Structure 1
Amino acid sequence: MVKRKLKSQPTEATNSKSKKQKKDIILEPVIKSDAPVERQTKWTNKQRSLIFSSRGISYRTRHLMLDLRTLMPHSKAEPKMDRKDTLFVINEVCEMKNCNKCLYFEGKKKQDVYLWASNIPKGPSAKFLVENIHTMSELKLTGNCLRGSRPLLSFDKNFDSEPHWQLLKELFIQIFGTPNHHPKSQPFTDHIFTFSIEDNRIWFRNYQILEEDGSLAEIGPRFVLNPIRVFAGSFGGATLYQNPHYISPND
């Protein structure tokens, strides 16, 4: 009979040594000057925007609200609020949702749409009349962007002309700007939000940045904000600015 030699099995000591050798990482003694700089990848800017509406809004306003939620990965949703509730209840709703910014669509007479943009909980806040609403599905434009990508924000130079325009510019930056390294965002920038002032109104457009030549292709939605009043507090308080050119749609 031929006896086969048994292979010697490695001991626990040798296994532990091999594991230690795999874990050890040898660092370079000299760091090259052209090496990429390690950047902070932690999510520090934790802005969250709550986007919801009151009962009685039209289908077009509802589609606009859904478009904004799609384009803003840092936004949160909430069921429609009853008309009987006061606007100050929104501060409590935002606190429960852990949101510090809010876009609230308010419908009246099933035809007039108002938008509240507020900084929770101390303000300021602004009220607008929303005009010329066109949603993404309605326009059928050629532009397209990646879902969850971070937008660039472009503002007209007229936003630096008056104090109330400067305040609204900063408010829009904090509401519409997607924080860097947000968990639901993509590390790409392929579209741009433009805010321009014309005829004492704010015109909103959303464009795709084309890779070929850097030109723009409109995606949608598009709407016009007619400012009514700016308040010092959240959904109320002292009046900081009142638009003298505003005319109520009921007049």
Structure 2
Amino acid sequence: MTYCVGLFLQEGLVMLADTRTNAGVDHISTFSKMFTVTAPGERMLCLLSAGNLAITQSAWNRLQDGVFLDQRKQTLLNVTNMFEAARLVGEAIRDVYRADAAMLSAQNIGFDVSVMVGGQIAGGPMRLYLVYAAGNFIEATPDNPFLQIGEHKYGKPVLDRGVRHDTSIDQGIKLVLVSMDSTIRSNLTCGLPLDLLVYREGTHDIALQRRIVEEDPYLRTVRVGWEESLRAAWLGIPSPDWEYVQQQKTTSEKESAA
């Protein structure tokens, strides 16, 4: 399993992926699930993948070699807009399905894959899509400014409460790291190191791409700060005034006095 998250903000994109890949407790490996396609000043695309590693790698290789779309062989370097980029990724996944799905099914292996596609191509708007195993896709919007793939449930609450379309990139970086750290804390199938990418709208180039390891001082600051803030928050909430609680409090006070 894996966890990847992408934020669609007014200022740009923030995309983060873990690198843990496992096929049982004896087969845990590190593989990057982030792929980039760039032509500085003209286009910047970032892909995050989740699911069966063989499927995602096969789809990525097809995208590099070229995939037939609208009767033309195309790559992510020559599609004309982000919508076409999402369609091309979907078609690459369908190509893998046509080639491998029957044999995977014969081995009782499901066709499990999802890919997040974010970026901008000159002449068009910045976009963030989530492409499913069937090759269809949805798009992030100002009303729903984040997408997740993989083991998303542990990291979703902080995003639901914190992310808005007008959230700054700096705040977005903190939010995705808290979301990822919450996931890693609760699910051993996700783990460090992490791959982070930041894109600023209109630049058509990567603003920041960083591998974050366990010893990263900023990750430690986020982790400790979030835990301490959470503890302070719930300790600071007034206790309920229900009768049972008051009885327990009175009993405790009497025992302390004795």
TM bucket normalised to smaller:
under 0.3
Structure with the higher fraction of residues in helix conformation: 2
Tell me which structure has the larger Cα radius of gyration. Answer: 1
TM-score (norm 1): 0.25
Could you say which structure has the greater relative contact order, defined with CA pairs below 8 angstroms and 6 or more residues apart? 2
